[in-house]
Amino acid sequence: MKTIRIAMLGSGFVADFYMQGLANVNGQEVVLNYSRSKKRGEAFARKWGIPETTQKLSKAIGRNDVDLYVIALPNEAHMPVALELAKARKNQVCTKPLARNRAEAKTMLDAVRRSGAMHGYAETEVFAPAVVKAKETIESGAIGRVLWVRSRESHSGPHSPHFWDVEKTGGGAMNDLGCHCIEAARYFFGKDNRIVEVMAWGDTLVHQTKTKGEDNALLVLKFESGGIAHCELSWTTRGGLDLRNEIHGSEGSIFTDVTRGTPISCFTSRPAGYVVEKADIDFGWTRPLPEEAFAYGYQAEMRHFVECVRDGVQPRETYEDGYVVNCVLEAGYQSMRTRKWVRPKY
């Protein structure tokens, strides 16, 4: 079996999760880390046993022994890095959201299509084991026709300062978290069932001094079939990441909850250390989440992308999916401003 050699572009929060996922994927090796910070890059390389780190993107892209580049960089870097990789005809995977807006996403999509190389959209939600099982249940016909989806993604706010800057990211909580819920809804309804109308509300309820973007949002998606998806996004939810889905069909319902319904509960009078992503406290009553990289889908998506490179095929999540999500988000922000239903422009 050919070993797939990977360059990890980034040394922050999501790059760390990708490395956790890759740690349990056979037939791959991360041979290079690119970081814009020498100190962070060296620390990241030491932590994960990566043999080389660089602050020169051209040096990373210029290597001829790397099979896959994983873009785990801030949103404003996605398009320029993707375009350089596409120009060099390199296989690439990009974290969510694909871009800051529809125009950037379309530029990225056009570039990777011209390159002929593999392109994967790293949307963890649709690789999470609970969500995959829910999809299998839907496909079995057990709940009949999907009518309504409720998807919630919330926590107390981003780790990194740049996430609060809407000029750098493209938006607030809806942009950051809504991409997960949109793609989950597309996954449950079926991608051939297009989102035809969008309505959204958003406001800054708590973090007025930290961001010009919304820290809470509601997003409603209307599908061609007449089905509805209801997405709840928040940067003000205490108690750690809240990640839930409900799928209601004509013959039944499915519920997923990987963070508030964990298989372990603890009560400690002293700090217990890391509990779960975005946990606010680590003592008292806590619900630690075992194997987060598995539960969130990082391991499954990384395995899938590695296998696609090895087999020479496109993944089930590509830049086309990322582009669709950006189109829906852009319609959502237009609806937020106009307080009207908006048809996405694909």
| DSSP secondary structure of 316-344 | SS-HHHHHHHHHHHHHHHHHHHH-S-B--
Answer for the pair 122, 93: CB distance below 8 angstroms, yes or no: yes
Residue 311 phi, psi (nearest 5): -90, -10
- Please give the angle made by the CA atoms of 14, 230 and 123, to the nearest 5 degrees: 25
The single-letter DSSP state of residue 161 is G
- Give the pair of three-digit tokens for residue 302: 């990384």
Cα–Cα distance list, 277 to 44, 85, 285, 296, 317 (Å): 19, 31, 16, 10, 24
**Looking at residue 80, what is its pLDDT?**
98
The torsion angles phi and psi of 17, rounded to 5 degrees, stand at: -65, -40
The pLDDT, as a whole number, for residue 332 is 98
In order of 10, 18, 47, 49, the CA distances from 41 in angstroms are 8, 15, 10, 12
Cα–Cα separations (whole angstroms), residue 9 to 17, 78, 244: 13, 10, 29
pLDDT in tens, the chain (346 residues): 899 999 999 999 999 999 999 999 999 999 999 999 999 999 999 999 999 999 999 999 999 999 999 999 999 999 999 999 999 999 999 999 999 999 999 999 999 999 999 999 999 999 999 999 999 999 999 999 999 999 999 999 998 888 999 999 999 999 999 999 999 999 999 999 999 999 999 999 999 999 999 999 999 999 999 999 999 999 999 988 999 999 999 999 999 999 988 889 999 999 989 888 888 889 998 888 999 999 999 999 999 999 999 999 999 999 999 999 999 999 999 999 999 999 999 9
Per-residue confidence (pLDDT) for residue 159, from 0 to 100: 83
The pLDDT value given to residue 298:
97
- Residue range 4-124+298-317 forms a domain whose CATH class is alpha beta
39-43 long-range contacts, CB within 8 A, separation 24+:
40/11, 40/12, 41/11, 43/11
The pLDDT value recorded for residue 266 is 92
Residues 6+ apart with CB under 8 A from 111: 82, 83, 86, 87
DSSP code string of 106-147: HHHHHHHHHHTS-EEEE-GGGGSHHHHHHHHHHHTTTT-SEE
- Report DSSP letters for 12-25, one per residue: SHHHHHHHHHHTT-
Residue 320 neighbours by CB under 8 Å, 6+ apart: 109, 121
CATH class of 126-295+327-338: alpha beta
Domain ranges of the chain: 4-124+298-317, 126-295+327-338
Q: What is the pLDDT of residue 279?
A: 87
pLDDT at 280 (0 to 100)? 87
Give the span between the Cα atoms of 32 and 9, in whole angstroms: 8
The answer to whether 92 and 68 have CB atoms below 8 angstroms apart is: yes
Spatial distance between the Cα atoms of 344 and 152, rounded to a whole number of angstroms: 21
> Measured between alpha carbons, how far is 109 from 160 in angstroms, rounded to an integer?
27
Cα 11 from Cα 34, distance rounded (Å): 7
